[in-house]
Structure 1
Amino acid sequence: MAEAETRSAGARGPDGGWGWVLVAALFVTNSLIFGVMRSMGIFFVEFVRYFEQSAQAISWISSLGLAALQFFSPLAAMLCNAYNPRVVMMVGGLLAGLGLMLASQATCLLHLYLSMGVLSGLGWGLIFTPMVSSVMASFTRHRTLAVGLGFCSIGLSSFAFNPLFQLMVELYGWRGALLILGGLNLNLVACGALVRPQQRSKEDEQVDPGSGAPCAAGLQRLISYLQPQLLLERPFFTYSLAMSFINIGFFVPYFHLVAHSRQAGFSDYRAAFVMSAAGITDILGRVASGWFSDLGHFRLLHLASLWTALAGLFIILLPVSSLSGSYAALMAISLLYGFCAGALTSVVFAVVPLIVGVDRMLEALGLLQLIESGAGLLGAPLSGLLKDLTGNYMASFAVAGSFPILGTLTLATLPGFFSRADPPAPQRRSHHVKDKGLQSELEQINSLSHGAS
């Protein structure tokens, strides 16, 4: 219990109230973003058939969507700090739906790259990070559980969407299915409308009048909202590097496991059900991890390392389990991977306020997503390239699983990783506090000089 209190020091939130409504909004948001993204394996096979392109070329579609989501997260943080976050998130929902609708009319891969990848990814980026930040800022004691509940929809939607998308593709073709998905994504507008704008202090809104032209002052203000100096802090930089390694391999099963299952000789629906079943244990993993983490028996950082290492191991074992043609073995490893992947997601976001403090959480999440965007762009195409070179997905999953394990080793280099208690979260000092500190130091110097004279 004492450790739980230490963990929340410097990372306080009101712990509930309207926050539970935001948890519900995060639940729907994650369903419509990552639930759809995780079910893209159904469309992957259809795109390969229709456009007659390599697995690597088709993989860029989903990778661009993930990378755009993460790349534009700092933009979302800046816009939400500078303007009404509710409006920013609602615009993001519109762009996400529009991108999928335009993708339904694609005539070439470039069209899919720009619409389904960049445009929808931009919309997802404008709503995802602010929504997660809003939920975490609304809780202290139950923060990890709240995040876990909000993210458990990813597993539920993965379970429902894979067979549903397969049915939609058979009934309406991939174009009709994407058009329906675009309409579903417009519900993100309603999720963004539930976020209440937070009051900013006058200190945060001040711009130095001597800073020059209005354009320069505006640029300075935007940079201050982004907090790029976080990259100079070793704990945040190390954590971002570890998350980047994890991100390279984490999403590969969601993009290529269905295709691998079909290649292993299983039917379309049995292949789709592999990911659906993993979605069920994903839900259990998120809720169980959130509940257990909030008990405070272990540090969140240690739990994140454990789940990361296990997730990487099970990614490596996924193609190995189907070598004998056993559907049960493939299903068992998929269930274990789903549980660990879900448990990991509940923890990794909750660690951020412990590293940077809750007052810099939105900016930190934006920068973290930006750094991860390059890794997200690499994962699926690298997996597709290895499949094209080897003819199967054995090397693809082996390489993908090694990256989360590398991320675990990187987490171990964080300062104080092997201690039993979390270090106190750093606090952002306002300009007013800095000025008072400087004034106090000057007064001490003056008093010493007068005393010496």
Structure 2
Amino acid sequence: MATRVRSKAPDGGWGWMIVLAAFIQSALVFGVLRSFGVFFVAFVEHFSESASSVSWITSIAVAVQQFCSPVASALSTYFGARSVVMLGGVISSLGLALASLATSLLHLYLSIGLLSVCGFGWALVFTPSVAAVSRYFNLRRTLAMGLAFTGVGISSFVFSPLFQYLLDEYTWRGALLIIAAMMLNLLACGALIRPLTLKEDLVAGPGMEVAAGSRCPASCRLLLNLLDLPLLRHLPFLTFVLVITLINAGYFVPYFHLVAHARTIGFDQYQAAFLMSATAIADLVGRLVSGWFADRRRLRLVHVLALWTSLTGLSLVLIPFGRHYAVLMLVGVAYGFFSGALTPVVFSLLPDIVGIGRIYGALGLLQMLESVGGLLGAPISGRRWAKGLWWAQNWASGLCWACKLSQSGSKYRTS
């Protein structure tokens, strides 16, 4: 059967099913990751390790997920997003099941993050899902992204107290095994993704032209095309990557340390878990508001990103000053709203910079390069709780303006 070529994104139709699939995937992937702070204290006590050492578990998982994103992009370009996402679901479930058998902290490093298990599985799920949403929407892309990412907020609200309950009832080993079974739902989500061919896909981008004109062997040209490595010479894209890397250094810090911080200053475990749930609700609202606001086109997307990033950095630096529960709750809710609001804007802005035909390669490279921030952020903040990381957030907002200055004409894309 001949493949139907669309002149533009449908902005609806089956695209809403893609949004639903991305919603469930983001809930299962990043909802689990954000709620992993519930296990933080249990790991510290069981393995008798420092908070900084335990922080490397989730930090490695985030870094591997992002660093392996180009592999997910290349596989999605070659085999299609559906099969790649389903494979990622199997690997993610296997990783958490192996983690439940851990006898040392090193075992958790390997099973949850490093050895292509949980981190790599999440990469195979997240990158193709986000790219699929981008390809199905244009005018309503930010709203679609916001709806897809609300799964993170809803699951964070539900998972924090749920994981605390599982931890109390089944210990951390039993809880991880149950979560591993939950991850198998990613297979059904992957099955919902239908391939979509756009007119822009048939036009060779700048990266393809460079690869075709080079002297490297055919296998080398194929690799260049799949990974879209010529984007590494694309100045607006590299500027944007630097912005997101700095944001990433501070973005996940509260989700790793907020529960432990609340416990340290005297609140019980359920108060700490509810604090994360309230932050998750604010995150959900922030994503919806951001999607609605950005698609009204009152401000350019880069200006919207700079606004949310600045407010996120400000709320981040205020968290250590929350010594009373009400104050800590207020600051946590503010952080949840602003950090949630910037996420859909990040992924909606990327197609404007590189073009929708290169979204798989661009998203993979973006995730890989920003992994440096995700890898170092939590362990550094474990030594000096969030000290200085808000500067990265504010520097990032300033660089958003540099990204605007590097655009050509009314678009970020270069010809």
Same fold by TM-score greater than 0.5: yes
Matches within 5 A, 1:11-90: 12-90=8-86
Q: Distance in 2 between matches of 1:202 and 1:229?
A: 16
Which of 116, 120, 123 pairs up with 1:122?
A: 120
Which residue does 1:102 correspond to in 2?
A: 98
- Local SS of the residue matching 1:105: coil
Asked if the contact 1:12/1:137 (under 8 Å) is kept, the reply is: no
One-letter identity of the residue aligned with 1:142: R
Matches within 5 A, 1:163-178: 163-178=161-176
Residue 152 of structure 1 deviates from its aligned partner by 0.9
Matches within 5 A, 1:100-249: 100-118=96-114, 119-199=117-197, 201=202, 216-249=217-250
Residue 399 of structure 1 deviates from its aligned partner by 2.1
C-alpha spacing 1:208/1:151, structure 2 compared with 1 (3 Å): closer
Q: Distance in 1 between matches of 2:364 and 2:285?
A: 28
Q: Distance in 1 between matches of 2:212 and 2:244?
A: 36
Q: Distance in 2 between matches of 1:379 and 1:239?
A: 19
Q: Distance in 1 between matches of 2:276 and 2:389?
A: 17
- Local SS of the residue matching 1:413: helix
- Local SS of the residue matching 2:403: coil
- Local SS of the residue matching 1:280: helix
Normalised to the residue count of structure 2, the TM-score between the two structures is: 0.92
Q: Distance in 2 between matches of 1:41 and 1:76?
A: 27
Matches within 5 A, 1:396-415: 396-415=385-404
Higher mean alpha-carbon deviation, 197-206 vs 18-27, is at: 197-206
CA offsets 1:284-315 (integer angstroms, 9 cap, x no match): 10001100110010011111111111111111
Q: Distance in 1 between matches of 2:228 and 2:122?
A: 22
Residue 401 of structure 1 deviates from its aligned partner by 2.0
**Residue 346 (structure 2) pairs with residue 340 (structure 1):** no
Q: Distance in 2 between matches of 1:90 and 1:175?
A: 25
CA offsets 1:81-108 (integer angstroms, 9 cap, x no match): 1123211111111001100010000001
Residue 68 of structure 1 deviates from its aligned partner by 0.8
CA offsets 1:135-169 (integer angstroms, 9 cap, x no match): 11101111100000000111111111111100100
Q: Show structure 1 runs of 4+ deviating over 3 A.
A: 198-212
Higher mean alpha-carbon deviation, 192-201 vs 181-190, is at: 192-201
- Local SS of the residue matching 2:402: coil
Residue 427 of structure 1 deviates from its aligned partner by 6.8
One-letter identity of the residue aligned with 2:129: M
Which residue does 1:91 correspond to in 2?
A: 87
C-alpha spacing 1:83/1:319, structure 2 compared with 1 (3 Å): same
One-letter identity of the residue aligned with 1:288: V
Which of 402, 411, 415 pairs up with 1:424?
A: 411
Higher mean alpha-carbon deviation, 29-38 vs 83-92, is at: 83-92
Q: Distance in 1 between matches of 2:187 and 2:286?
A: 28
Q: Distance in 1 between matches of 2:56 and 2:214?
A: 46
Higher mean alpha-carbon deviation, 255-264 vs 193-202, is at: 193-202
Which residue does 1:439 correspond to in 2?
A: none
Percent identity over the alignment is 47
Higher mean alpha-carbon deviation, 331-340 vs 216-225, is at: 216-225
- Local SS of the residue matching 2:102: coil
Residue 31 of structure 1 deviates from its aligned partner by 0.5
Q: Distance in 2 between matches of 1:121 and 1:72?
A: 8
**Cα RMSD after superposing both structures:** 2.2
Which residue does 1:435 correspond to in 2?
A: none
CA offsets 1:384-411 (integer angstroms, 9 cap, x no match): 233xxxxxxxxx2232222211211221
Higher mean alpha-carbon deviation, 291-300 vs 203-212, is at: 203-212
Unaligned runs of 5+ in 2: 1-6
Q: Which has the larger radius of gyration?
A: 1
C-alpha spacing 1:26/1:422, structure 2 compared with 1 (3 Å): farther
- Local SS of the residue matching 1:265: coil
Residue 12 of structure 1 deviates from its aligned partner by 4.7
- Local SS of the residue matching 1:296: coil
C-alpha spacing 1:415/1:287, structure 2 compared with 1 (3 Å): closer
Asked if the contact 2:282/2:333 (under 8 Å) is kept, the reply is: yes
Which residue does 1:437 correspond to in 2?
A: none
Asked if the contact 2:157/2:281 (under 8 Å) is kept, the reply is: yes
Asked if the contact 1:38/1:158 (under 8 Å) is kept, the reply is: yes
Residue 42 of structure 1 deviates from its aligned partner by 0.6
Which residue does 2:380 correspond to in 1?
A: 382
Residue 208 of structure 1 deviates from its aligned partner by 6.6
Which residue does 2:295 correspond to in 1?
A: 294
- Local SS of the residue matching 1:330: helix
What is the number of residues matched between the two proteins? 401
Normalised to the residue count of structure 1, the TM-score between the two structures is: 0.85
C-alpha spacing 1:336/1:415, structure 2 compared with 1 (3 Å): closer
CA offsets 1:409-443 (integer angstroms, 9 cap, x no match): 221212437x9x98225377xxxxxxxxxxxxxxx
Asked if the contact 1:416/1:423 (under 8 Å) is kept, the reply is: no
Which residue does 2:3 correspond to in 1?
A: none
Which residue does 2:4 correspond to in 1?
A: none
Asked if the contact 1:97/1:120 (under 8 Å) is kept, the reply is: yes
C-alpha spacing 1:241/1:209, structure 2 compared with 1 (3 Å): closer
Residue 195 of structure 1 deviates from its aligned partner by 1.2
Q: Distance in 2 between matches of 1:161 and 1:423?
A: 43
Q: Distance in 2 between matches of 1:376 and 1:365?
A: 16
Asked if the contact 2:302/2:404 (under 8 Å) is kept, the reply is: no
